[in-house]
C-alpha cells in the first residue's frame, strides 16, 4: 500500500519529521518558507495530511483546491487559522494542540503582567540609554501585583492556570468573566469569582485576556471597554491579535486613561500598530506565550501524534470536528 503523504507547512524539530516518516512520505519545509495561499495549494497537491502552525490558513478555497487532503494538524491550541465548518463540510479532520502549553503560556502571561505593572521594559530602556544618574522617590513607581484584583477575560485552561498563580502564589483577588460560568468546584480551586464583563472591566487592577479569537470576540476590548477601566489598571493580551482594538489601545496608553499594557499578540502580526511602538508604557513580546523548548516540542509532538493516529487508523487525540472515518 502507498504511504500517505504529509506536508509540513513550516519548519519544525527534525525528530518530529523523522517520527512522521515512519508512516508517511513527508515533504519538509526546513527553510521555513512562508507559503502564499497559491504556494500552499500547490504544495498540498497529492498530500493527504498537513502539519500547520497558527500562521497557516486552511479555508474553503484551499480545501476546494486540495481534494485529496484529509487531515490538518495544528501545532497550536488556537485554531482561528482553520475554517472548521468548511473543513467539516469537506470531510477534512482538524486537530489542535491543547493542554501541553497551558502552564508555559500561563507563566508568560504572569511574567508580562508583572513586567507591565512594575514597568520593567520602560526602566530597562532608561538604564540602557544611560539616563540613570540618580535615585528618586517615584522613579518607575508602578503598581502592586500581590493583593491586587486580577481580572481574567476567558476562563479556559490557561485562564484557570493564571487564576491559580494569582490567588495561591500572590494573594490576588481573582474575578473572571467567561461565556459560561465554571463549576462551583473549579471556581473554588481557582479561588475565582464570576462577574459580568462590565464589573470585570471596572474592578480589575490587572486585566488579563485569555479568550479564543472568533468573530464574536473581535475587538472585545475597544475604546468603550478601555474607557471603563481604572486609570491605574494594566491590560495584558496573551490571547490573539484582534481581540483588542490596537489603535484604540495606543490612544488609551498615550492619554494614560489606563496605566500600561503588556502585549504578546497583535492585530495583523508580525506588524505592530505604530502607535504602540511610540508609547513607553507598554511591554511588547513577539507571540512567545508557548515558547519554551519542552513545550514547543510537546506541541509539535501532539500535532504529529494526531497525524500518526489518523494514518494508522487509531482514534484522534485532540479532534476539533467529527472524524469522517467513524460511521
Q: How many residues bind ligand 8YV (CB under 6 A)?
A: 9
Least distance to ligand 8YV, CB of residue 74, Å: 7
C-beta of residue 221 within 8 angstroms of C-beta of residue 245: yes
Whether 287 sits among the annotated catalytic residues: the reply is: yes
Among 241, 289, 298, 311, contact with ligand 8YV (rule: CB under 6 A) = 289
Q: Does 104 bind ligand 8YV (CB under 6 A)?
A: no
Residue 49's beta-bridge partner residues? Answer: 6, 71
CA 146 to chain centre: 25
Q: How far is the CB of 11 from ligand 8YV (least distance, A)?
A: 12
Quick check: is 218 catalytic?
Answer: no
Nearer to ligand 8YV, 178 or 281 (CB): 178
Residue 50 · residue 6 · CB < 8 Å: yes
**Residue closer to ligand 8YV (CB basis): 251 or 291:** 291
- Provide the terminal-to-terminal Cα distance of the chain, rounded to the nearest Å: 23
CB of 291 to ligand 8YV, least distance (A): 7
Question: Shortest distance, CB of residue 303 to ligand 8YV, whole angstroms?
Answer: 9
Among the listed residues 5, 10, 119, 287, the single catalytic one is 287
Residue 207 pairs in a beta bridge with 151, 235
Q: Which of 27, 103, 189, 269 is catalytic?
A: 269
Secondary structure element (H or E) that encloses residue 237, with its range: strand 234-237
SS3 category, 151: strand
Is residue 162 within the footprint of ligand 8YV (CB under 6 A)?
no
- 52 has which bridge partners? 74
Peptide bond into 91 cis (omega under 30): no
- Look up residue 56 and give its three cell numbers: 497557516
Give, as ranges, the residues between 31 and 70 that touch ligand 8YV (CB under 6 A). 53-54
Rounded alpha-carbon distances, angstroms, from residue 266 to 163, 270, 300, 326? 23, 7, 23, 39
- For position 101 contacting ligand 8YV by CB under 6 A, the verdict is yes
Should residue 211 be labelled a site residue for ligand 8YV when binding is judged by CB under 6 A? no
Residue (27 or 99) nearer to ligand 8YV, CB = 99
Nearer to ligand 8YV, 77 or 221 (CB): 77
User: Catalytic residue among 240, 256, 273, 296, which?
Assistant: 240
Distance CA 239, CA 273 (A): 17
Distance in Å, CB of 257 to ligand 8YV, minimum: 28
SS3 222: coil
d(CA 184, CA 179): 16
Nearer to ligand 8YV, 101 or 182 (CB): 101
Shortest spacing between CB 37 and ligand 8YV, in angstroms: 18
- The x, y and z cell numbers of residue 265, run together, are 499578540
Q: Is 125 a catalytic residue?
A: no
Residue 290 is a binding residue for ligand 8YV (CB under 6 A) = yes
Residues in the chain: 327
Interface residues for ligand 8YV in 69-88 (CB under 6 A)? Answer: 75-78
Residue with cell 509539535: 300
CA distances from 211 to 52, 180, 265, 299, 321 (A): 21, 12, 12, 19, 20
Angle at which helix 102-117 crosses helix 157-164, to 10 degrees, equals: 50
Residue nearest to ligand 8YV (CB): 54
Q: How far is the CB of 228 from ligand 8YV (least distance, A)?
A: 27
Which is nearer to ligand 8YV, 108 or 152 (by Cβ)?
108
Catalytic residues: 240, 269, 287
| Interacting residues with ligand 8YV (CB under 6 A) | 53-54, 75-78, 101, 289-290
Amino acid at each position: 500500500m502507498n504511504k500517505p503523504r504529509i506536508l509540513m507547512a513550516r519548519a519544525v524539530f527534525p525528530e518530529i519529521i523523522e517520527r512522521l516518516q515512519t508512516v508517511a512520505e513527508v515533504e519538509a519545509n526546513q527553510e521555513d518558507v512562508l507559503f502564499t495561499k497559491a504556494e500552499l495549494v500547490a504544495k498540498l497537491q497529492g498530500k493527504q495530511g498537513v502539519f500547520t502552525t497558527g500562521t497557516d490558513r486552511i479555508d474553503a478555497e484551499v480545501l476546494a483546491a486540495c481534494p485529496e487532503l484529509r487531515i490538518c494538524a495544528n501545532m497550536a491550541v488556537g485554531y482561528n487559522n482553520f475554517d472548521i465548518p468548511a473543513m467539516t463540510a469537506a470531510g477534512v479532520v482538524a486537530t489542535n494542540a491543547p493542554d501541553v502549553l497551558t502552564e508555559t503560556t500561563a507563566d508568560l502571561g504572569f511574567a508580562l503582567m508583572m513586567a507591565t505593572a512594575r514597568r520593567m521594559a520602560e526602566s530597562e530602556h532608561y538604564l540602557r540609554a544611560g539616563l540613570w544618574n540618580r535615585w528618586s522617590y517615584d522613579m518607575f513607581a508602578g503598581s502592586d501585583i500581590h493583593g491586587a484584583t486580577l481580572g481574567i477575560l476567558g476562563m479556559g485552561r490557561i485562564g484557570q492556570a493564571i487564576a491559580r498563580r494569582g490567588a495561591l502564589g500572590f494573594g490576588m483577588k481573582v474575578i473572571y468573566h467567561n461565556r459560561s460560568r465554571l463549576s462551583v468546584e473549579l471556581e473554588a480551586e481557582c479561588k475565582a469569582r464570576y462577574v459580568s464583563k462590565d464589573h470585570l472591566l471596572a474592578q480589575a487592577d490587572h486585566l488579563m485576556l485569555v479568550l479564543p479569537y472568533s468573530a464574536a470576540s473581535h475587538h472585545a476590548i475597544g475604546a468603550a471597554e478601555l474607557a471603563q477601566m481604572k486609570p491605574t489598571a494594566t491590560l495584558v493580551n496573551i490571547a490573539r491579535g484582534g481581540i483588542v482594538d490596537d489603535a484604540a489601545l495606543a490612544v488609551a496608553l498615550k492619554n494614560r486613561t489606563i496605566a500600561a499594557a503588556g502585549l504578546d499578540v497583535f492585530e495583523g502580526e508580525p506588524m505592530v500598530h505604530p502607535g504602540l511602538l511610540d508609547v513607553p508604557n507598554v511591554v511588547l513580546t513577539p507571540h512567545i506565550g508557548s515558547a519554551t523548548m519542552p513545550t514547543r516540542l510537546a506541541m509539535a509532538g501532539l500535532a504529529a501524534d494526531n497525524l500518526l493516529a489518523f494514518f494508522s487508523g487509531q482514534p484522534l487525540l485532540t479532534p476539533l470536528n467529527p472524524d469522517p472515518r467513524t460511521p
